[in-house]
Amino acid sequence: MRLVAIGGSDAGISAALRARELDPGADVTVVVADDYPNFSICGIPYHVSGEVPDWRNLAHRTVADLEATGMRLRLGTTAERIDVDAHEVHVRDPQGAPSSIAYDALVVGTGALPVRPPIEGLDLLDPHDGVHVVHSMGDTFEVMRSLTRADARTAVIIGAGYLGIEMAEALIVRGLEVTQVEQLPEVLPTVDPDLGGHVAAELRSHGVAVVTSTAVHRLTRSGSPARSSLRVDGASSDGTPFTREADIVLIFAGVCPDVSLATAAGATLGVRGAIDVDRTMRTNLPDVFAAGDCVVTHHRLLGTTYIPLGTTAHKQGRVAGENAIGGHREFAGSLGTQVVKVFDMAAARTGLRDHEAVAAGFDPVTVAVEADDHKAYYPGSHRIAMRWTGDRATGRLLGVQLFGHRNAEVAKRIDIASTALFNEMTVEAFSDLDLSYTPPLGSPWDAMQIGAQAWVRAILEGNAAD
């Protein structure tokens, strides 16, 4: 059995590992475009901050670990074309020499590409000017060079999603003055505005100048490469001009699926231009599977959508690898469960927000509530702000959002909600869960159960959050 995986990140490596696990005799080759297979892109901000000093520690597994499983890694090798009829992948090695790799089954895990927003001057500037669109380990090294080469003291971050917020913290930790610009009215727009407001307040309390409802229109540079001066120009939604000077500019404007290789081979595309796959991760091409940020996502509440997440990519890759060697497994589906650390706080979500639930055909009710993470009489308790969304008619849990102190187990509490959503529980049934209790760590009714009970009361009383 000859399995080839294209892409050395979460999906491709997971596919290769699963195939070798189930069939130690399988001939598994992974084509990796760079020299950094199985690296945690989510960990980049913590290397930039210095909290993870050695970039090599961002690898989930070393090259030696991966090769010890029996897979073959083709590092620095570009996949240029898939010949579906001949069952071959045409590649080019680091020296530029072309060759082909035959396969019985192929897994495409080409991931996503960073969005380059339509900012005047962006295409004229590059990392040597101190402007970075950050998405890969190569981008990370360029950022580190800019920070040291220019002795950077000021930074502008364009975009206030998960990575943008984490990078703002990283640069503050390094001692820079940071301005964060978000085009939408709130930072972290994947949560409701009141929780986004909490996130913005936490950023500001640590020195980040947060500017919302503002779009950047132009980037210009003056000075020498050794000491660049970057000017960032834009305007707020009401037309007020915005200008900042900075030593370094980082751009986090989202991602789009990298599908050029697959489409050239005839793969069908789906939501947001991602490769269309079924729940077994099969494409329309014979013996070709695909997984990760380049494919559509089965969502347990929404059906087919697109959610580029590392956790999802790992699971999809595992399914693809198993089925590529003859298995019959289906991807169980995503709920979009996410969490982000914001200095001393954390924000998390799972499932649907109110407007998403309406679009999916539900009749949602959303309730805002707060509760202590453990008994308030024990020192060190923290309040957790919550938003609970459930279906009015059936009582089915649809989504939960949390914001609280990093020590309040926000990540694990959102995982409890995700587990309940996965099993299609009602909000009321949440109170029946047998959760642990000791005063330093919890309460007889966990904070999450208090939130669920507040939702049930709101339904009975006819009161819902705005």
Rg of the chain's alpha carbons, rounded to an integer?
24
Reported as a single tens digit per residue, the pLDDT across 290-341 is 999 999 999 999 999 999 999 999 999 999 999 999 999 999 999 999 999 9
Provide, rounded to the nearest whole percent, the portion of the chain with pLDDT above 90: 95
Q: State the pLDDT at residue 61.
A: 94
Whether 8 shows a pLDDT value over 90: the answer reads yes
Residue pair 390/397 in contact (Cβ under 8 Å)? The answer is: yes
Tokens of residue 344, six digits? 């001393």
Q: State the pLDDT at residue 226.
A: 57
User: pTM value?
Assistant: 0.93
Whether 427 shows a pLDDT value over 80: the answer reads yes
Reported as a single tens digit per residue, the pLDDT across 107-118 is 999 999 999 999
Q: Which residue has the tokens 């190569």?
A: 138
Whether 443 shows a pLDDT value over 60: the answer reads yes
Q: State the pLDDT at residue 62.
A: 94
Please state, as a whole number, how many other Cβ atoms lie within 10 Å of the Cβ of residue 266: 12
Q: What is the mean pLDDT of residues 135-159?
A: 92
Q: Which long-range contacts (CB under 8 A, 24 or more apart) does 380-383 make?
A: 380/407, 380/440, 382/407, 382/408
Residue pair 389/351 in contact (Cβ under 8 Å)? The answer is: yes
Please report which confidence band the pLDDT of residue 229 belongs to, taking 50, 70 and 90 as the band edges. Answer: confident
Q: State the pLDDT at residue 227.
A: 60
Please report which confidence band the pLDDT of residue 228 belongs to, taking 50, 70 and 90 as the band edges. Answer: low
In whole angstroms, what is the distance from residue 382 CA to residue 403 CA?
A: 11
Q: What is the mean pLDDT of residues 119-130?
A: 92
Tokens of residue 371, six digits? 């509760």
Torsion of CA 235, 236, 239, 240, to 10 degrees: -80
Residue pair 37/30 in contact (Cβ under 8 Å)? The answer is: yes
Taking CA 251 as the corner, what is the angle to CA 250 and CA 252, rounded to the nearest 5 degrees?
A: 125
Q: State the pLDDT at residue 222.
A: 78
Q: State the pLDDT at residue 466.
A: 47
Q: State the pLDDT at residue 149.
A: 80
Reported as a single tens digit per residue, the pLDDT across 14-48 is 999 999 999 999 999 999 999 999 999 999 999 99
Would you please indicate which residues are annotated as catalytic (active-site) residues? 42
Residue type at 17?
A: L
Q: Which of 8-17, 21-30, 197-206, 454-463 has the lowest mean pLDDT?
A: 454-463
Q: State the pLDDT at residue 63.
A: 96
Whether 399 shows a pLDDT value over 50: the answer reads yes
Reported as a single tens digit per residue, the pLDDT across 264-297 is 999 999 999 999 999 999 999 999 999 999 999 9
Q: State the pLDDT at residue 464.
A: 56
Tokens of residue 25, six digits? 């005799």
Beta-bridge partners for 244: 232
Residues comprising the chain, all counted: 466
Provide, rounded to the nearest whole percent, the portion of the chain with pLDDT above 70: 98
In whole angstroms, what is the distance from residue 411 CA to residue 441 CA?
A: 14
Q: What is the mean pLDDT of residues 55-64?
A: 94
Torsion of CA 316, 323, 321, 290, to 10 degrees: -50
Please report which confidence band the pLDDT of residue 225 belongs to, taking 50, 70 and 90 as the band edges. Answer: low
Tokens of residue 457, six digits? 């009361």
Report in angstroms the alpha-carbon separations of 312 from 276, 307, 334, 415, 447. Answer: 15, 8, 7, 14, 27
